[in-house]
Amino acid sequence: MSESFQALEIPPDALEQGGIEVLRAAVVDGAVSVALRRSFDDPATWGRLMVDLAQQAARAYALETDLSEEEAFERIRAGWEAEGLDPGGLN
């Protein structure tokens, strides 16, 4: 692993109770690089996970910028819609 890679800490509950990492994402040269494992029997669970990630990201923006959590979530939603709600052209 490169010395310049800045990894996040393991969430405290996962550190205490164990678990399985399902997603790792990094920004590399301005692009997102992702590793994941299927992890769930029902793909709909990924949709719930993505909403949870968006809510947590909105909360982080609200804490670190002048945006409210609602404004940040709306911007995240707008970005999702700008991609046509089509993850990679699967239609």
pLDDT tens sequence across 27-52: 999 999 999 999 999 999 999 999 99
Which among 25, 71, 16 has a CA at the least distance from the CA of 50?
A: 25
Considering only CA atoms, which of 54, 88, 86 is closest in space to residue 73?
Answer: 54
Phi, psi of 33 (to 5 degrees): -115, 130
Sign of the alpha-carbon torsion through 40, 41, 43, 44: negative
Sequence-separated (6 or more) residues with CB below 8 Å from residue 88? none
Fold that domain 12-82 belongs to in CATH = putative pyruvate dehydrogenase fold (3.30.2370)
CB 72 within 8 A of CB 58: yes
Q: Any idea where the domains of the chain sit in the sequence?
A: 12-82
State the pLDDT at residue 84: 75
In the chain, which residues have pLDDT < 50? none
